[in-house]
Amino acid sequence: MKIRKAVIPAAGLGTRVLPATKAIPKEMLPLADKPTIQYIIEEAVASGIEHIIIVTSRTKRAIEDHFDETPELRAALERKGDHKKLEMLERIESMVQLSFTRQPTPRGLGHAILMAKDLVGDEPFGVLLGDDLVVNDERPCLRQLMDVHETYGGCVVAAMRVPHEQISLYGNVALGKSITPRTHRIRDLIEKPKPEAAPSDLAVIGRYVLTPDIFDALERTEPGSGGEIQLTDGICALLERQQVFAHEFEGTRYDTGDPVSYLTTSLAFALRRPDLAPGVIAFLKNLHLDESRALDKLD
């Protein structure tokens, strides 16, 4: 079945990047000069998604404002005759149909997805997590998962091999039969296992295609890892009833969930931009001098 809708959970408190996120949603923190959530929405649109449901919480109004019309800004740019920026505004404000719903209390990723139940309805849908950026200019990561769903049905999670000691940061996949070199049936799913208990080094990355059966499964899911209702546990409950695939996507994955990964991802995204890269490269070429001075100060 064709996938038209996607859910972006954006209700998290962003405590790992405080104080930046005290009053600003972490999804609005820019990578180079663009809010993180805009990249995520652009990936969904490039994948063929027509309607995006964003699950927010009390402090996240700036997300809604970012994609809304801005007549004052438009008038100011018109007065200046800045057609390039006007086109940019137009693109942001008419990108895709957006709906917003709230998660009243932070009860976990699975619970956040459940908040989108009525807006999604009875059809398969995509999920994109804002902390994971995946770059593939030809075939976006979500599109790759949609293609697997359109061929084989069932649910599909994006997967990537990670160093064994890092598996406890992720959902972990126990593999069944391989369907293609990159697509495998899932036998079991475990949220953030200890490395010694992990059945593989294959981690779940924040892109999913889910069937609407997930809502019923999530309604029955008890709090798991971290005392939260985990999406991984909901998907695991579906394994008895339908096929669930792990797809080792093609593309480069960047994390933004903690200060170091946020900074390095921002740098990587600036380096991909022809208008920003030369200045950033010039700065980096001289950085070793500054770095040794900064380290001197620490001694």
How does DSSP classify residue 177? E
Phi, psi dihedral angles at 131 (to 5 degrees)? -75, -20
User: Are the C-beta atoms of 178 and 184 separated by less than 8 Å?
Assistant: yes
Work out whether 115 is an interface residue with ligand G1P (CB under 6 A).
no
Q: Give the nearer residue to ligand G1P in terms of CB position, either 120 or 203.
A: 203
Give the nearest distance from C-beta 206 to ligand G1P in angstroms: 4
Q: Give the nearer residue to ligand G1P in terms of CB position, either 77 or 245.
A: 245
Closest CA to 40 of 108, 161, 142, 150: 142
Work out whether 131 is an interface residue with ligand G1P (CB under 6 A).
yes
Distances from the Cα of 254 to the Cα of 23, 52, 263, angstroms: 24, 22, 11
Work out whether 265 is an interface residue with ligand G1P (CB under 6 A).
no
Work out whether 224 is an interface residue with ligand G1P (CB under 6 A).
no
Look at the block and give the residue holding tokens 């380096």: 271
Q: Which helix (H) or strand (E) segment is 44 a member of?
A: helix 36-46
Positions 149 through 208 that interact with ligand G1P (CB under 6 A): 170-171, 191, 203-206
Q: Is 207 exposed, middle or buried (0-12, 13-18, 19+ CB in 10 A)?
A: buried
Work out whether 129 is an interface residue with ligand G1P (CB under 6 A).
yes
Work out whether 109 is an interface residue with ligand G1P (CB under 6 A).
yes
Give the nearest distance from C-beta 252 to ligand G1P in angstroms: 15
Q: Give the nearer residue to ligand G1P in terms of CB position, either 8 or 203.
A: 203
Sign of CA pseudo-dihedral 167, 252, 204, 129 = positive
Work out whether 232 is an interface residue with ligand G1P (CB under 6 A).
yes
Q: Which residue is nearest to ligand G1P (CB)?
A: 171
Look at the block and give the residue holding tokens 């394994």: 239
Positions 38 through 97 that interact with ligand G1P (CB under 6 A): none
User: Are the C-beta atoms of 10 and 67 separated by less than 8 Å?
Assistant: no
Give the nearest distance from C-beta 196 to ligand G1P in angstroms: 18
Chain residues that interact with ligand G1P, rule: CB under 6 A = 109, 129, 131-132, 170-171, 191, 203-206, 230-232, 257
